[in-house]
């Protein structure tokens, strides 16, 4: 996801948890149709944080998702989020993704995919806003503990200032025995054009949280923070200040 609005980020480069898109994808219900499975859901989050930075200007965002997967491991899907209305990105982000997921050993899964980030309704005088990113994940489950490593790479594209970007993330989830609670934590590192330019384009983000399912609903709370240095501009600094994010998701 691109970072915020250009008006708010005159000193930042317009650019883009363990999952993609970040934080907002809750548990999804599924429906099998032959070898295909359809899953979907919708979430309401108090602040759309992507790799530590608020992309909703610290406002509530609504985020639907739909995925179709095949028994072979291939999948395609869409994910969206409401955005503060801006000339650069309009009112909505739409991510189209596809990839392949397979278990390579007992409890170990590899996921390789591509996500295309687009902004329907944006009207930035023809300036490019859309971009794509390749994402690879390696996950391993040990009892109630699940560990995931992620590498995301966006090659040089005009919408990214003709520069490339890499994002690394290591996260873990732990299902507390005899309870419905799942605890989670992750740390990520951004290097390149999808990062902040003030004072540089390299920074670390981290998140800790917990989630609880209740029927088709899942409630989660997360503490999100980064090591981005203050710029002295309040409208900018608040977008990567530490915060607590509440999310309620429903599967269908």
Residue 236 in contact with residue 198, Cβ under 8 Å?
Answer: yes
Task: Write down the pLDDT at residue 246.
Answer: 98
Task: Write down the pLDDT at residue 128.
Answer: 75
Q: 242 — phi, psi (to 5°)?
A: -60, 145
> In the beta sheet, which residues pair with residue 94?
80, 118
232: left (phi over 0), alpha (psi -120 to 50) or beta: left
CA distance to 110, 162, 183, 244, 247, per residue, from 221 (Å): 27, 36, 10, 7, 6
Task: Tell me which residue has tokens 């982000």.
Answer: 93
Task: Write the DSSP assignment of 16-54 as a string of letters.
Answer: ---SSSTTT----EEEEETTEEEEEEEEEESS-EETTEE
DSSP run (H or E) holding 234: helix 234-237
Task: Write down the pLDDT at residue 127.
Answer: 65
The answer to which of 44-53, 61-70, 111-120, 125-134 has the lowest mean pLDDT is 125-134
pTM confidence score: 0.84
Question: Where are the domains positioned within the chain?
Answer: 29-251
The model's pLDDT over 5-27, given as tens digits with 9 standing for 90+, comes to 333 323 332 333 333 344 333 44
Task: Tell me which residue has tokens 């930042």.
Answer: 12
The answer to which of 47-56, 57-66, 197-206 has the lowest mean pLDDT is 197-206
Q: Which of 174, 251, 172, 185 is nearest to 222 (CA)?
A: 185
Residue ranges of E strands in 27-162: 29-33, 36-45, 49-50, 53-54, 61-70, 74-86, 90-105, 108-118, 131-142, 145-157
User: Could you name the CATH architecture of 29-251?
Assistant: Beta Barrel (2.40)
Task: Write down the pLDDT at residue 243.
Answer: 96
């Amino acid at each position: 996801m691109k970072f915020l609005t250009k008006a708010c980020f005159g000193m930042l480069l317009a650019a883009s948890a363990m999952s993609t898109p970040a934080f907002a994808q809750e548990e999804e219900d599924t429906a099998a149709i032959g070898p295909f499975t359809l899953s979907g859901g919708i979430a309401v989050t108090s602040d759309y944080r992507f790799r530590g930075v608020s992309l909703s200007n610290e406002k509530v965002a609504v985020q639907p998702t739909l995925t179709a997967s095949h028994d072979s491991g291939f999948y395609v899907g869409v994910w969206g989020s409401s955005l503060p209305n801006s000339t650069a990105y309009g009112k909505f982000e739409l991510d189209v993704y596809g990839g392949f997921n397979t278990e390579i050993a007992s409890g170990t899964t590899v996921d390789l995919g591509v996500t295309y980030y687009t902004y329907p309704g944006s009207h930035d005088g023809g300036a490019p806003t859309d971009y794509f990113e390749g994402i690879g994940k390696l996950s391993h489950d040990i009892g109630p503990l699940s560990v995931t490593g992620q590498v995301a790479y966006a090659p040089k594209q005009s919408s990214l200032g003709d520069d490339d970007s890499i994002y690394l993330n290591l996260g873990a989830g732990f299902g507390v025995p005899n309870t419905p609670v799942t605890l989670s934590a992750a740390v990520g590192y951004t290097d390149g054009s999808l990062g902040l330019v003030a004072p540089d384009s390299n920074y670390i983000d981290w998140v800790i949280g917990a989630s609880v399912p209740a029927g088709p609903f899942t409630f989660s709370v997360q503490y999100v923070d980064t090591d981005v240095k203050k710029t002295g501009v309040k409208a900018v600094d608040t977008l990567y200040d530490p915060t607590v994010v509440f999310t309620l998701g429903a599967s269908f």
